[in-house]
Amino acid sequence: MLALDRTSRSAIGLSHVGDRGAGGWTGRLAPSGGTPLNAIAEALLGALGLIATRDAKLIEIATLSVAVSLSAVLLASLLALPLGAAVAVARFPGRHALIVLLNALMGLPPVVVGLVVYLLLSRAGPLGELGLLFTPTAMVIAQTLLILPIIAALARQGVEDAWIEYEEQLRSLGVTGIAAAATLLWDTRYSLVTAVLAGLGRASAEVGAVMIVGGNIDGVTRVMTTAIALETSKGDLTLALSLGIVLILLVLLLNAAAFIVKESAQRRYG
């Protein structure tokens, strides 16, 4: 990483840029300033630079981001898939109201979820004894709550569509209730992947919840999105954009992996 002194920096028009040492991003290319279009190109180069040099800070926050979001997706799926299937198959008064509610909760504002979880986990709150505030666990909890409705609502729709096709035959065989829900969940597994990926997308992209319950503590609860927010607020838009590009690439990679797994399973087992 280049360390330019004040004279040379002003000579090339960088007089306003602070010392990079304060940021701790060792793998960055020194920016060249210029027009907004250049900024995007710079950001792209910056992103590649961070990845190519395996910037330690980047790896730290990227790993945490993936771990938190994947944990949340796993937890949320374990709860949401059976819930969605149950609502799809069961008939009870208020079912339609519940479906509307589930669909509406897909739009739950992340910052509101963060606030609620914060109030629960704060020392002054009911679960304060657990000491979970400002830890990755708190972030996983908040994200799980946030994406649970998304996975449940989408699973509900998929399973219900399948139930319409399968209902008579399954009932004829004597399959009802939980057994039917379980059978349908397995049968619609490929479209459920999409529901799960929707949850993953939401979790990886959100900043409001993890910021509030995690505190964006350097080295402990700083993830990609909160790091981007931080760099933006410090005015380092190029770095923020670079991190954004890396985040998008990361999510793209996860989605590609899911697609490949799905395709190969589909081809082998039908």
Partner 1 sequence: MDLRPILLAAVLILPGSAPAKDFITVASTTSTEQSGLFKHILPIFEQETGIQVRVVALGTGQALDLGRRGDADVVLVHAKALEEQFVADGFGVQRFEVMHNDFILVGPRSDPAGVRGGADVVAALRKIAAARAPFVSRGDRSGTHFAELELWKTAGIDIAADKGPWYRDTGSGMGPTLNTASGLNAYALTDRGTWISFKNRGELTTLVEGDRRLFNQYGVILVSASAHPHVKTKLGQAFVDWLLSRRGREAIAAFKVDGEQLFFPGADPRSR
Partner 2 sequence: MSSLLPLGLDEVGFRASGRVILDRVSAEVIAGPRTVILGANGAGKSVLMRICHGLLAPTSGAVHWNELAAPEAARRQAMVFQRPVMLRRSALANVEYALKVARVAPTDRRARAVEALENVGVRHLADRPARVLSGGEQQRLALARAWALRPEVLFLDEPTANLDPSATREVEAIIAAIHAAGTKVVMTTHNLGQARRLADEILFLHAGRLTERAPADAFFERPVSAEAAAFIKGELPWT
Select from 28, 43, 86, 134 the one that contacts partner 1 (CB under 8 A): 134
Asked if 79 interacts with partner 1 (CB under 8 A), we say no
* Residue 251 found at the interface with partner 1 (CB under 8 A): no
**189 binds partner 2 per the rule CB under 8 A:** yes
Q: Could you say whether residue 172 binds partner 2 (CB under 8 A)? A: yes
Q: Among 71-79, 90-98, 198-206, 248-256, which window interacts with partner 1 (CB under 8 A)?
A: 71-79
Q: Which of 58, 50, 36 is nearest to 223 (CA)?
A: 58
51, 58 Cβ separation under 8 angstroms = yes
List all residues 6 or more positions away from 87 whose beta carbon is below 8 Å from its beta carbon: 95, 98, 99, 102, 152, 156
Distance CA 248, CA 246 (A): 5
Tell me whether residue 74 or residue 175 sits nearer to partner 1 (CB atom). Answer: 74
Instruction: State in angstroms the smallest separation of the CB of 171 from partner 2.
Output: 6
The residue from 37, 129, 168, 233 that contacts partner 2 (CB under 8 A) is 168
Under the binding rule (CB under 8 A), the answer on residue 216 touching partner 1 is yes
Residue choice 12, 104, 179, 257 for contact with partner 2 (CB under 8 A): 179
Interface residue with partner 2 among 115, 125, 187, 262 (CB under 8 A) is 187
Q: Which residues make up the interface to partner 2 (CB under 8 A)?
A: 165-166, 168-175, 179, 183, 186-190, 269-270
Q: Which residues make up the interface to partner 1 (CB under 8 A)?
A: 6, 16-19, 21-24, 66-68, 70-71, 74-75, 122-124, 128, 131-137, 140, 215-218, 220, 230, 232-237, 261, 265
